[in-house]
């Protein structure tokens, strides 16, 4: 079964007018060459740069089908519910399954009890995530991650860098385990955490846990083989930013992998009941940046962003009146 597009899945039946405008503005297969005429020409209607106000401080890891504890039964039920027209929110509440911005079915594991452990060996040499992080659910789902090298106090050259995942992937994009890399004499997968926030202020322990959650999400996505985001200074990111009339950083922030990792950090400390009643959301950007099966980067309006959605509805209504 092909992955469902998240915007198709999240549309309520009453949002027919949004479906019409979404069809007009969503690039075919997210191919870059179609973006300029399908989205950039509608800059005024979408008011580029408008952002939702952030919600309350909410501190999860979103797992995929490669996780050891992936619940195939609940996922099958969720797919049936979707086929019958159940809303995304109700489906999440009943099954614990949702479709991410890249069109993949996801479930969530509980990160509320994740905490740092005192590392007895030198964290700058060969300590691992398992040495420094107490998170049994992560280990039972993705044991490979607990074997990643780990430095919780890395001195980044730029104080604005708060965390980094370094990984080695197979040709299919999936991360190779450290045991395999060691046999081949390659550098290990590693998570480094910095000591400063992006504004240059010294980080608190709670913020560092959230940053850890962010990097763990990238690590989980790598094991699943989902595309990794490109840095803001990459040529393709700059080109797409020019086409859409936004900054490269805005494109970087809208990448599916970054959206998933930020939402992970937003939900880290919430309990199971809260998570059940609050479906993951990704509405803090104007565009969702993803890749097609050929690896071509592209963009679509962010259907989770209420400002973007409302502007699309308004434009569709105006176009209907003109016709």
Secondary structure (3-state) at 21: helix
Closest C-alpha to 218, from 255, 186, 270: 255
Query: What pLDDT does 270 receive?
Result: 77
Both tokens of 68, joined, read 């050891």
Q: What is the pLDDT along the chain (323 residues), one digit of tens a residue?
A: 334 444 333 333 223 333 333 333 333 333 232 322 222 323 322 232 223 333 333 336 899 999 999 999 999 999 999 999 999 999 999 999 999 999 999 999 887 788 999 887 666 667 999 999 999 999 999 999 999 999 998 888 887 788 999 999 998 889 999 999 999 999 999 999 998 877 778 887 777 888 898 899 999 999 999 988 888 889 999 999 999 899 999 999 999 999 998 888 788 777 778 888 889 999 889 989 998 777 888 898 888 888 877 777 777 778 777 76
Half-sphere exposure of 17 (CA within 13 A, CB side): 13
Strands (E), the chain: 61-63, 98-99, 105-109, 115-116, 133-134, 149-151, 163-166, 190-193, 287-291, 297-301
Question: pTM of the prediction?
Answer: 0.76
Helix ranges (DSSP H) in 26-154: 35-38, 43-46, 72-83, 88-95, 129-132, 136-141, 143-146
The owner of tokens 């619940």 is 71
Q: Let me know: does 35 contact 298? Beta carbons within 8 Å.
A: yes
CB-neighbour burial class of residue 276 (10 A; exposed 0-12, middle 13-18, buried 19+): middle
Q: Let me know: does 160 contact 199? Beta carbons within 8 Å.
A: yes
Closest C-alpha to 292, from 107, 35, 78, 37: 35
Query: What pLDDT does 230 receive?
Result: 84
User: Which helix (H) or strand (E) covers residue 214, if one does?
Assistant: helix 205-224
Query: What pLDDT does 323 receive?
Result: 64
Closest C-alpha to 116, from 193, 178, 61: 193
């Amino acid at each position: 079964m092909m992955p469902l597009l998240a915007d198709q899945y999240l549309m309520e039946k009453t949002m027919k007018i949004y479906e019409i405008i979404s069809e007009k503005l969503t690039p075919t297969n997210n191919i870059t060459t179609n973006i300029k005429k399908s989205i950039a020409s509608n800059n005024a209607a979408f008011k580029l740069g408008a952002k939702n106000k952030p919600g309350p401080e909410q501190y999860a890891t979103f797992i995929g089908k490669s996780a050891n504890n992936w619940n195939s039964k609940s996922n099958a039920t969720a797919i049936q519910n979707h086929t019958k027209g159940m809303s995304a929110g109700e489906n999440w509440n009943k099954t614990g399954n949702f479709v991410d911005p890249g069109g993949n079915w996801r479930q969530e594991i509980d990160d509320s009890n994740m905490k740092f452990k005192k590392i007895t060996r030198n964290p700058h040499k060969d300590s691992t995530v398992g040495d420094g992080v107490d998170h049994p659910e992560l280990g039972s789902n993705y044991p490979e991650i607990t074997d990643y090298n780990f430095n919780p106090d890395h001195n980044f050259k730029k104080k604005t860098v708060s965390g980094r995942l370094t990984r080695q992937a197979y040709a299919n994009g999936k991360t190779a385990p450290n045991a395999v890399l060691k046999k081949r004499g390659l550098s290990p997968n590693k998570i480094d955490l910095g000591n400063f926030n992006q504004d240059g202020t010294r980080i608190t322990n709670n913020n560092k846990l959230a940053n850890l959650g962010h990097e763990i999400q990238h690590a989980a996505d790598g094991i699943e083989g989902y595309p990794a985001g490109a840095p803001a200074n990459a040529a393709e990111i700059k080109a797409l930013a020019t086409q859409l009339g936004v900054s490269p950083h805005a494109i970087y922030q809208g990448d599916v992998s970054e959206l998933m990792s930020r939402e992970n950090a937003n939900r880290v400390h919430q309990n199971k009941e809260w998570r059940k009643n609050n479906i993951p959301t990704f509405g803090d950007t104007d565009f969702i940046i993803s890749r097609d099966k050929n690896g071509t980067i592209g963009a679509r309006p962010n259907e989770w962003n209420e400002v973007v959605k409302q502007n699309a509805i308004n434009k569709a209504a105006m176009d209907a009146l003109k016709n």
